Structure 1
Amino acid sequence: MPGIRGLGTVTTERHATSSPAVAGSKHEGISVLDREVFWPVHIFSDGRLDEEPGSVTWMQRDRAFWQGMDPNDTGVWEVHLPDSTSRRLRIRFRDDGDHTVTYDPMKYGWQSYGLKFIAEHPFWEGVPAVRSWKNGEYLPLFDPTGPQLFNIGSGSEISEATIDNLGDVESYARWFIDGETTEAAVGVNGLVVEVPFDVPEGKCLVIESEPDLIGATMYDVVPGAPSKPSERVIGVDMVNPVDRSADLGEADFAPIPAGASVPLSLSLTGTGAVEALLPSLFRRAW
C-alpha cells in the first residue's frame, strides 16, 4: 500500500571534532547506520465473509502471512527495475507497531498493518562483478578438446588485474582459488593476503574478505560442477568443507573502491585460476 519506506538513501552519522578556538568543526568521517524499512500491508480475503467459512478463509491467510515474520530470520526484498536489472536488500522483521484493532477483521475479511523491518547491511545489492584470471604460461584460453574452461583475461594481465566496482561504495570481494596452485596471493592496491599452502587439483579455496566474515574454506569440487567457481553451489557442487582460516594468519583485506578498472594485486603459481566476485552495493533501490 502507499507509504513504503526504505527505498531511499542510507542514513549516516557524522563524526567530527571541534575546538573553542576554531569556528565550526572538522569532519572526521561517517558511519552508515542500519536501514529502517516500513511496509503498509493490507490482507484481504474475498471468500463468503458473511458466512463462517469466509471468516476462516481470512484467518488462515492472515495466519500464514504472519508465520513468515520471524525476528530471528531474514528475508530478501527485491526490486525489479525498468532496465531489466534488480536490487536486493536483506531485511529482518521487527514488529507491527503495536497494531491496534478498530474493527473485527473476522467479520469484514480485511485488515491493514504497518510492518517494521531492519536491514543490518543497509546497502541495496545489485548484480556482482565477476572476473577470473589464469597464468599465461598455462594458456591457451580454450581446451582444444572441449568448451571454454574459464572466462579469463590473458595471462600477462594477472599481475595487472583490474575489476569494475559497479556500485556506489567500496565493497569486499569473495575470492576463489581453483587448484592446482602452489602459491597464491590476493588483494588490492598492494595490500595482499598470501595463501601459504597448496590448493590441490580438484579443490577450491573460498576466501571471504568481508570484515565480519573473514575466513578461508577448502572444498572438494564435485565432478561435472560449473567451471566458474562463482556459479557453483556450496553443498552441491563444492562439498567436504575444511576450515583453513587459521592458516591465513592475520589476514587484513582492503575494500575495493567504487569505480572502473580498479587495480588488484594478484599472484598465482600453478595451473589453477583465481576468481573474484565483487558485490555491487548501492545507497538507493534504483
Structure 2
Amino acid sequence: MPIVFAAPLAAPSGSSGFQSLFMSWTGFDGSVWDLSDPRGAVPGMGPGVKGLHMPAMTVYKSETPLVPGVDLMGYRIGERSVYWPLVFAAKNVDDWEAKYAGFFDSVHPIRPGIWTVGAGDKARTLPLTGQFAGDYAFTRDPFGTGRALIGVELTAPRPLWRGKPIRKTFYAEADVDFIPDEPGDDYYPTPIATFAKAEIDNPGNEPAYLTWIVNGPQDTGLELGVDGAVIEVPFPVADGSVLKIDTDPAGQFATLDEVDVTSTLGFQIFGPVPSRGTSPLTITTSGTGSVTAELVPLHWRAF
C-alpha cells in the first residue's frame, strides 16, 4: 500500500484579510452587547462556540422487504442548542459586577433576545432564550481576580438563522407609456415591477412565508399567492388604507390599518416561497394601489 506524504495546511497569515466575525447579543430587555473580542469586550466570546453550524435534523425513512435500502421521505429540524463560552474580565470590581449582572439580566428563559452574527447585508440573526440548570460553580472568586469564564447555554426555539429581509413592491400595469412630443417634457414609463411580472427570490435553505402589504385602492376579490396557493381577500381596501397579511404559520394574521381582520379574511391556504431560487407571484386585482411582498430568508447556518 503506497504512503503519500503531504505538507500540512499553513495557518492563515495576518496579511490575508482574515479577522474575527462580528457577534452581538441584544437582550430581551433591549440592551446590546458586543461579543466579538474576548480581550476587549465584556463579556467576550471565547473558543468553543456552538450554534453557528448545521442544525440537528431528523430524517424520516420508510422501507420494504421488496426493495433493498430505504426511501427518504423528508426531514424535520428541531430546536437548536447554543453554547457560549463567555469571558467576563474587568480592571475593577465595580465594572466587573455591573457587566456580569447586566448581561445575565438580559437573558430570559422564555422571552427571546437576538444573536447577530456578521454585519451589513451578510448579517444573520437567531432568537435565543436561556437555559439555566443552576449548577454553575465559581472555581475562583471573581471579586478577587476580576475574571471568570462562564459557559452559557441557550436555546433557539426557531432554529433557522434569519437573513436580511427581501422586499419587492409591484404596481398596476399602465395602459400605455406616455412619450413626450417635445424635448424636456416629463416622461412617464410603465413601471417595470408590474403585477403581471411579479416574482421574488428566496436565497435561503428552507421555504419561507411571505408578508403581503397591500396599499389601497383595491377592489373586493384581490388575489395574492405563490406556488399555487392563492389568498382571496373578501373585502375592499380603500384608497389610503393598508392591508397587511402575514402568511407564516407561526403567526398568520391580517390587519387593516392596524386593526385585526384575521377572522374577516377567513380560511385561506397559505403557501411558502420555495428555497434557492426565484418564484413567480400571483397578484390579480383591478385596483391601482401597490402591493409589496416581503420575505425573510431562512438559513441552516450563521454564514
State the TM-score, normalized to the length of structure 1.
Answer: 0.79
State yes or no: 1:61 paired with 2:103. Answer: no
State yes or no: 1:12 paired with 2:57. Answer: yes
The aligned runs of 1:1-286 (5 Å cut-off) are 1-47=46-92, 55-80=93-118, 85-95=122-132, 98-137=135-174, 154=191, 157-183=194-220, 184-219=222-257, 241-286=258-303
Gaps of 5+ in 1: 48-54, 142-151, 220-240
Q: Is the 8 A contact 1:96 1:114 kept in 2?
A: no
Q: Is the 8 A contact 1:132 1:153 kept in 2?
A: no
Amino acid of the residue matched to residue 171 of structure 1?
A
Between the aligned partners of 1:11 and 1:43, the Cα distance in structure 2 is 30
Between the aligned partners of 1:33 and 1:140, the Cα distance in structure 2 is 52
Between the aligned partners of 2:100 and 2:281, the Cα distance in structure 1 is 51
Could you list the per-position Cα deviations for residues 1-53 of structure 1 after superposition, in whole angstroms to 9, with x for gaps in the alignment?
Answer: 01101110121101112234543322110001111111000111202xxxxxx
Between the aligned partners of 1:269 and 1:155, the Cα distance in structure 2 is 18
In the TM superposition, what is the alpha-carbon distance from 1:265 to its structure 2 partner? 1.4
Amino acid of the residue matched to residue 196 of structure 1?
P
Amino acid of the residue matched to residue 284 of structure 2?
S
In the TM superposition, what is the alpha-carbon distance from 1:97 to its structure 2 partner? 6.8
Amino acid of the residue matched to residue 279 of structure 1?
V
Amino acid of the residue matched to residue 113 of structure 1?
I
Report which structure shows greater RCO (CA 8 Å, sep ≥6). Answer: 1
Amino acid of the residue matched to residue 19 of structure 1?
T
Q: Is the 8 A contact 1:96 1:113 kept in 2?
A: no
Between the aligned partners of 2:134 and 2:71, the Cα distance in structure 1 is 38
Amino acid of the residue matched to residue 230 of structure 2?
V
Q: Is the 8 A contact 1:35 1:119 kept in 2?
A: yes
In the TM superposition, what is the alpha-carbon distance from 1:275 to its structure 2 partner? 0.5
Q: Is the 8 A contact 2:80 2:158 kept in 1?
A: yes
Moved over 6 A (4+): 138-141
- Give the aligned length: 247
Amino acid of the residue matched to residue 254 of structure 1?
G
Amino acid of the residue matched to residue 263 of structure 2?
A
Mark the CA change 1:2 to 1:153 in structure 2 (over 3 Å): closer, same or farther: farther
Could you list the per-position Cα deviations for residues 122-160 of structure 1 after superposition, in whole angstroms to 9, with x for gaps in the alignment?
Answer: 11111122111111147879xxxxxxxxxx983784134
In the TM superposition, what is the alpha-carbon distance from 1:274 to its structure 2 partner? 0.7
Identity of aligned residues (%): 30
Greater Rg, structure 1 or structure 2?
2
In the TM superposition, what is the alpha-carbon distance from 1:59 to its structure 2 partner? 2.4
276-285 or 22-31, which deviates more: 22-31
Mark the CA change 1:272 to 1:112 in structure 2 (over 3 Å): closer, same or farther: same
Q: Is the 8 A contact 2:59 2:72 kept in 1?
A: yes
Between the aligned partners of 2:177 and 2:288, the Cα distance in structure 1 is 12
Per the alignment, residue 225 of structure 1 pairs with none
101-110 or 12-21, which deviates more: 12-21
In the TM superposition, what is the alpha-carbon distance from 1:88 to its structure 2 partner? 1.2
Per the alignment, residue 50 of structure 1 pairs with none
Counterpart secondary structure, 1:270: coil
Amino acid of the residue matched to residue 238 of structure 2?
P
Could you list the per-position Cα deviations for residues 230-255 of structure 1 after superposition, in whole angstroms to 9, with x for gaps in the alignment?
Answer: xxxxxxxxxxx211111222111111
249-258 or 15-24, which deviates more: 15-24
Q: Is the 8 A contact 2:174 2:190 kept in 1?
A: no
